[in-house]
Every structure is written in structure tokens, then in C-alpha cells.
A = this chain, B = another copy of it.
Amino acid sequence: MLLYDSAVSGNCYKVRLLLAHLAIPYERRELSVTDRSNRPEVLGGLNPALRVPTLVLDDGRPLGESNAILWYFGEGTRYVPENRYERAQVLQWQFFEQYDHEPHIAVARFWLHYSGGKADPAALERRQASGYRALDAMEKHLDRRAFFVGERYSLADISLYAYTHVAGEGGFDLLRYPAIRAWLERVAAQPGHIAIDA
């Protein structure tokens, strides 16, 4: 099984983290997140979005989108609830992550940390304001909860952990968020946890 990967991408880290929990072996092939000129050639037939992570199963069938890959491997394991409402809640938080969290927090982090600091100040400020709104919503939800759904560690936590735990690299101050910080520690204490740079 082959994962088209980026060592610094939180989206790729989600997949690596779940595969580590599940002890599933795979091969990594690193693609650049700054020079994307080879993406059509490499990923053209595999992923309509031309992005990493893209997974190629042993039989050659491809799969894109970090959260879809998580469901492919997570179904039937402890990381996906069986209850219909809780399953929909996991998806709710994963779609929240891709719409309200990643486009702001991951992009601010990329601009500040991985693109040589070439951020337009006004654009960065907008992304950070939106990113803080996502963090505010997470803090409120975690205020009296241990995990995002059903009080158990699930794919929802994996998806939101990926870019939240490195939000500081995007200029976000997590000291404002005690519930998020306690949750980050609970996630990092899960059996089989690996770091983003593992």
C-alpha cells in the first residue's frame, strides 16, 4: 500500500496517525508542498483534487481526501462509533474541520512556516480571525467533554488534532484555550500515538 505523503502536512498526518494506531504497514512517497508542478503527472489518475494524502491500495485502487481515507480504515474499529447519531457527529466535526478549520489554521501555518514567510498581512489576518472562530467553537464544545464525540477518542479527534496541535506555527495562541490544551494531551496519550514528525 502506497501513501503519497508530505511530512509536514496535517492532512497526511491524520492518515499516518490512524495507520499507526491500527499497526497497518505502508510505503510513503514524499511530495513537495511548495513545488506542486509534478502533481498532475503523479496524482492525475489517482485523485481529482491532485493533493496529498492520496492512497493507493495494494490492488491499485486509489483514494483521496484525508477524512475519506480515515473512514476506509476506521470502519469496524474502535475509532468509529457504531451508533448512527454518533457516526454522523464524527462526520459533522470532520466537515467542520475541512471547511472552518483547515482552510484558516493550516493555510496560516503554511504561509508563516513553510512558504518562506511570504504572507500578505491582510489575508493572514483574515485567516487568523477565522481560525480563532474555529478554535472558539472547539473550546466551547470541549469545555465539559473529554473527546469530540461520545466521550471516546474517534476519527473526529484525529482529524481535529492534526492541525490544532501545530496551530502555534500559524501564529495562534493556544494558551487562551485550556479545554483544547487538555484535550491535546489526552489525544497524545492514546495507545499507538505518533508525532507528526515520526
Contacts and interface: CB of A to CB of B under 8 A. Distances in A.
Interface of A: 48-49, 57, 61, 63-69, 71-72, 75, 84-85, 87-89, 91-96, 98-100, 103, 137-138, 140-141
B68 A89 contact: yes
Nearest to A44: B140
Contacts of A64: 92, 96
B100 A88 contact: no
Contacts of A96: 48-49, 64-65
B103 A91 contact: no
A91 B68 contact: yes
A40 to B, nearest CB: 11
A71 B91 contact: yes
24 contacts: A48-B100, A49-B96, A49-B137, A57-B85, A61-B85, A63-B89, A65-B91, A65-B92, A67-B95, A68-B88, A68-B89, A68-B91, A68-B92, A71-B87, A71-B91, A72-B84, A72-B85, A72-B88, A75-B84, A75-B87, A94-B95, A95-B98, A98-B99, A99-B99
Contacts of A48: 93, 96, 100, 137-138, 140-141
Contacts of A85: 57, 61, 63, 72
A48 B101 CA distance: 11
Given A48-B141, A103-B103, A137-B49, A71 B98 contact: no
A67 B91 CA distance: 8
Among the interface residues A75, A88, A99, which one has the most CB atoms of the partner chain B within 10 A? A88
